[in-house]
Structure 1
Amino acid sequence: MLLGRRTYEIFAATWPYADRSDPAVAAMNAMPKYVASRTLENDGLPWANSTLLGPDLPAEVRRIKGASARETVVLGSGALLASLIEHDLVDEYRLLVFPLLLGSGKRLFAEGEGPHRLTLTSTRATPSGVLISTYRRPEGG
């Protein structure tokens, strides 16, 4: 899991204290967590299996992606995601659309970003009406 500082701090305040008998909680606490931050220090990462990334984020992410056959997931972390998009480090987008109109909010993609061609590889609706769509970059692009 790859997290920005704010998302990491929110998760680290909750997940380590959640019901460890829940398989989802156990999995979340056990997985490696990589934190992109210019203000945190390694000894300031209280959540188990957390590692602070160095200052060259693109190189660090390429190293993580190359070191494991498993996928690297970004949850939340809008500023981090914008940096990953800028450096062409996102292979797949899983977008969740909730049946709720808020009227305002943060943009997922920065003004002036793109265009980027994507291919829809799957979509499904949950019983509660959430649409989950998966998009990938085209092969060779």
Structure 2
Amino acid sequence: MRALKVVMAMSLDGFVSDIEGSNGWMFTGDQAAMAWKVDAVSNAGLHIMGSRTFRAMAGFWPTAISPFAAPMNRIPKAVFTRQGPAILQAAPAANAPQTSATEAQVAALQPGGESWAEAYVAGGDLADEVARLKADDGPPIVAHGGAAFVRSLIARNLVDEYALLVYPLALGQGLPIFSELTGKRHLALVDTTAFPSGAVAQTYRAM
């Protein structure tokens, strides 16, 4: 059985984006902090996300040139949605007619970029779908977001580990991920690493 791990950047006051969903600040920082983030997503056996995050990532990563692109493209994906297989149309060239434009798009795909159109569509009960995915052996499942999807995972007590990169930035208000808890949730600190930019990586395990 594999674990479910949330990997997210977070402001000092506990938000993963501002109130409008903007989170460009999470792509700043020093090389060591960036390397930590790349390593965190590279060690996944499966990437999972909600429909909004899937649409955004499926439209970006397949043709992106970035240290994150390789693990985001080559590792299998699952999208949690009520939209059914239609959500896969967000991925480049998924069932597209072969026009010159789509041929150019396919040609620009990075290795593994086609995997977004092959993502598993999880449309059942959240806990049941997660249990089904956890039942496989291998590296951990990494949950990316969005905030509402991760809040649901946390509220249902489905998360085994949290890898949080906390930035030295206070937003004042924004989108949290722990706000749907109905009581205290104690976690065990596994590791902490401070980076030159002031960001601190904190890894916690569910107790």
**Separation (CA, whole Å) in 1 of partners of 2:177 and 2:155:** 13
Structure 2 equivalent of residue 38 of structure 1: 82
**TM-score, L = length of structure 1:** 0.85
Determine which structure has more spread, i.e. the larger CA radius of gyration: 2
| CA-to-aligned-CA distance 1:18-47 (integer Å, 9 cap, x gap) | 12xx564122111111111123x3143122
**TM-score, L = length of structure 2:** 0.60
Query: By percentage of residues, which structure has more helix?
Result: 2
- Higher relative CO (Cα under 8 Å, sequence separation at least 6) belongs to 2
**Separation (CA, whole Å) in 2 of partners of 1:104 and 1:119:** 27
Equivalenced residue count is 135
Match of 1:16 among 57, 62, 65: 62
Structure 2 equivalent of residue 28 of structure 1: 72
2:79–2:119 contact (8 Å) kept in structure 1: yes
Percentage of identical aligned residues = 42
1:30–1:49 contact (8 Å) kept in structure 2: no
Match of 1:5 among 27, 51, 76: 51
Aligned residue for 1:73, secondary structure, equals: strand
Structure 2 equivalent of residue 106 of structure 1: 175
Offset of residue 3 of structure 1: 0.2
**Separation (CA, whole Å) in 1 of partners of 2:122 and 2:205:** 25
1:2–1:36 contact (8 Å) kept in structure 2: yes
Residue segments in structure 2 that go unaligned for 5+ positions in a row: 1-46, 92-115
Amino acid across the alignment from 2:49: L
Residue segments in structure 1 that go unaligned for 5+ positions in a row: none
Residues 30-69 of structure 1 aligned to structure 2 (within 5 Å): 30-39=74-83, 41-45=84-88, 46=91, 47-69=116-138
**Separation (CA, whole Å) in 2 of partners of 1:112 and 1:18:** 36
RMSD: 1.7
Q: 1:113 to 1:101 in 2, by over 3 A?
A: same
